[in-house]
Structure 1
Amino acid sequence: MDLNILWFILVAVLFIGFFILEGFDYGVGILLPIMGKTDTERRVVINTVGPVWDGNEVWVLTAGGAIFAAFPHWYATLFSGFYLALFLMLVALIIRAVAFEYRSKAEDPKWRAWWDRGIVFGSLIPAILWGVALGNMLRGVPIDADMHYVGTFFDLLNPYAIIGGLTSLSMFLLHGAIFLNLKTSGELSERALHLTRRIGPVTTVMVAIFIVSTYLMTDSFSRLGVNPGPIPIASLGALFAAAYFVHIGRLGWAFLMTSVNIGLSVITIFMALFPRVMVSSLDPAWSLTIYNASSSPKTLTIMSIVALIFIPIVLAYQTWTYWVFRHRISIESELTY
């Protein structure tokens, strides 16, 4: 296989893993004040993701490193053009990480309340901005012939990108609500199920709007790229399947379906982009592709060997982590602890 295509696929796979795993992290963080009415309940909610949230973020770090090494021009244009948005996301993620670590350092309710707000803020902002970023990559941003972003921060706040941000937010909220149902018990589990049933229809509508908007507001399915065919429809169908499994009380299958929905959504976006990685709204000929934005063949070859060795190790370790922390968490266990 062409190594440029291989690394484009690998970057897509890394983002699929990141959005599936970190997606429920974001959802849990945003739902924290709704799910947790008392300090003990909030501790339970936080501890559902406590052992895994930082490991989940490794996926996006790896994806960023892969883009930097395999497609340096993509990395340079993306990070310079989206600088303010990515800086805001980084600040939010730092606040979130610090909040997870420092929340329990003091018994003062005000102390914990402020760190809880930090968790909500640090989960909400990335959940929106990832959708905004992907939306802009699909729709196109001002990129000149030298691969330089020549727009402003406000160029990124267009209707299509905002729809993308609201869609990613709703998807992660649903994913997180179902995860909380699986990881908690008693009243908390029932509360998560109630939230799941309220969020599900909103998410389905937002995904449908995003699909229609992609057809109407981008050139993804009419010009360059690969026609995704039934994949966007299958993504929407996965949400209907999730609703069915929620209705019959099979939340494990519902979580699998929201994971499928997220995965197929990312596949749709990358297939719609291919062979581009960023679309120029000034001139389609100035778009960045997997060829004009890539590293040398030698670099891609070395990276492929390294990836072949280390990715299975990372996958094995993370699988083991999830297996160790697979049990439900209850209020009683937190009080005992």
Structure 2
Amino acid sequence: MGLNDFWFLLIAVLWTGYFFLEGFDFGVGILTRLLARDRQERRVLINIIGPVWDGNEVWLITAAGAMFAAFPVWYATFFSGFYLLLVLILLLLIVRVLSFEYRHKRPEESWQRNWEWVLFASSLLLPFLWGMIFANLVHGVPINSHQDYAGSPADLLNWYAVLGGLAFTALCTLHGAVFTALKTVGEIRGRARAFAARSAAVTGVLAAAFLVWLQTDRGNGATLIAACVALAALVGAFAANTRTREGWAFAFTGAAIAATVAALFLSLAPDVMPSSLNFAWDLTIDNAASGAYTLKVMTWVAGFMTPLILLYQGWTYWVFRKRLGTQHIAEAH
């Protein structure tokens, strides 16, 4: 394996980590309206992700930074081609942060309610948009002979991308439901398990439809294995949730997300961004990569920094490992 291949693999791992961690983060935000019955229960849901949501987003910054440094041509074409969708994602990430920070700054009912709706809407739209982007990425977009995006925003709006967005949203919602059951006590815990049981079937149908389409579109033996692992993990999550084994259910939904992302990247290789105009104009792991010296320096930096990030984030999750319930929420003042 050359450094080009290593960095493609590492970027795939970074995106997998982002969707695994931010996936339940988005899911819990969605559940603030679908599961919580009052403001106190919404505060419980917000508090179970409060200590970790910003750390989860480090994976996004790292993945984008790695693309910029290791594959500058890929980064340039990717961010120019998906410019409008990525700007919308950036705005949604910003207002989502504000919903966490501003919601409790004023006591008025309308103020808090509006920011709670912002949290719900941004958490719902973000995984949908990410799903659309990655579905379009593997399906192929108009790239010309100069390695530039040659399409329009309308080219990104297609049924394949919409299905990818729905599948990602459903996966994140299910992931968030089992995380809620894992991190709460009392009545909300039981309702989270019931919600996860109901949503598992919808998630399975959407994920299966998208993965089958992916397999027929750009699939190979490796993507078929990853797709089967993802669907088997969803079945395992449903079984574990039924038996109130919340830790196992969370592991299985995380495995389903990881296997789905793996299927996407496995279908890409050896490309990083296929062209729908001419396969000779595809961006590949070789023609989109930085020079050997740059990749070598990046490898040393990554080898030093990655363990530190993992240790810090693991410590954060350990410190805030306790379950929460409405009895732990102080009265608003």
User: Shorter-chain TM-score: which interval?
Assistant: over 0.9
The 8 Å contact of residues 138 and 220 in structure 1, kept in 2 or not, is answered as no
Q: Secondary structure at the match of 1:277?
A: strand
Q: Distance in 2 between matches of 1:97 and 1:110?
A: 19
Q: Give the AA of the match of 2:59.
A: W
Q: Give the AA of the match of 1:241.
A: G
Q: Distance in 2 between matches of 1:336 and 1:328?
A: 18
Task: Pick one of 251, 255, 263 that aligns with 1:260.
Answer: 255
Q: Which runs of 5+ in 2 are unaligned?
A: none
Q: Give the AA of the match of 2:218.
A: D
The 8 Å contact of residues 220 and 273 in structure 1, kept in 2 or not, is answered as no
* TM-score (norm. length: structure 1): 0.96
The 8 Å contact of residues 215 and 224 in structure 2, kept in 1 or not, is answered as no
Q: Distance in 2 between matches of 1:229 and 1:39?
A: 44
1:219 corresponds to which residue?
A: 218
1:52 corresponds to which residue?
A: 52
Q: Give the AA of the match of 2:5.
A: I
The 8 Å contact of residues 35 and 45 in structure 1, kept in 2 or not, is answered as no
1:309 corresponds to which residue?
A: 304
1:298 corresponds to which residue?
A: 293
2:36 corresponds to which residue?
A: 36
CA offsets, 1:167-198, max 9 Å, x none? 00000000000001111111111121121111
Task: Pick one of 234, 240, 244 that aligns with 1:239.
Answer: 234
Q: Distance in 2 between matches of 1:142 and 1:88?
A: 21
CA offsets, 1:215-256, max 9 Å, x none? 33x2343xxxx7434221111001011111111111110100
Q: Secondary structure at the match of 1:302?
A: helix
Indicate the larger mover: 207-216 or 94-103. 207-216
1:203 corresponds to which residue?
A: 203
Q: Give the AA of the match of 2:280.
A: A
Task: Pick one of 272, 278, 296 that aligns with 2:273.
Answer: 278
* TM-score (norm. length: structure 2): 0.97
Q: Give the AA of the match of 2:11.
A: V
Q: How many residues align?
A: 332
Q: Give the AA of the match of 1:161.
A: A
Q: Secondary structure at the match of 1:86?
A: helix
Q: Distance in 1 between matches of 2:179 and 2:109?
A: 27
2:171 corresponds to which residue?
A: 171
Indicate the larger mover: 50-59 or 267-276. 267-276
Identity of aligned residues (%): 46
Shift of 1:34: 2.1
1:249 corresponds to which residue?
A: 244
Q: Which runs of 5+ in 1 are unaligned?
A: none
Q: Secondary structure at the match of 2:272?
A: strand
Q: Distance in 2 between matches of 1:336 and 1:38?
A: 13
Residue 334 of structure 1 pairs with residue 333 of structure 2: no
